[in-house]
Amino acid sequence: MKSFFLNVNKSNPKDAAHFNKRVITFLFCLLISVFIWLLLSLSKEYTISVTYPVQYINLPTDKLVANRLPESVDFEIKASGFRLLLFKLKQQRESISIDIKDARSTRLKNNYFIQFNDRLDKITRQFYNGIKVLSVNPDTVFINYNKKITKTVPVKANLTLEFEEQYQQTNPLKVEPEFIDISGTAEDIALISFVTTVPLHLKKVNKNLSLKIELSKTAAFKKVTFSQNSIQAKVTVKKFTEASLELPVEVVNLPNGLNLKTFPDKVSVKYQVAFDDYGKIAAPDFKLAVDYSKIEQGSNKLKVLVLKTPISVRSVKLSNEKVEYIIRK
Is residue 1 over pLDDT 50?
A: no
Using pLDDT thresholds of 50, 70 and 90, give the confidence band for residue 134. Answer: confident
Q: Output the CA–CA distances (angstroms, integers) from residue 253 to 256, 257, 264, 302, in the order listed.
A: 9, 12, 19, 13
Question: 36: Cβ–Cβ under 8 A, 6 or more apart, which residues?
Answer: none
Share of the chain above pLDDT 70, in %: 83
pLDDT at 128: 73
pTM, to two decimals: 0.60
The 10s digit of each residue's pLDDT in 244-260 is 999 999 999 999 888 99
Q: What is the per-residue pLDDT across 46-62, written as a single tens digit (0 to 9) for each?
A: 787 888 888 888 888 88
In b/e form, how buried is each residue of 77-96, taking b as 16+ CB within 10 angstroms? bbbebebbebbeeeeeeeeb
Write out pLDDT tens, residues 5-44: 445 455 556 566 666 667 676 666 667 656 666 655 555 6
75 neighbors 48 (Cβ within 8 angstroms): no
Cα separation, 120 vs 78, whole angstroms? 12
Distance CA 207, CA 215 (A): 24
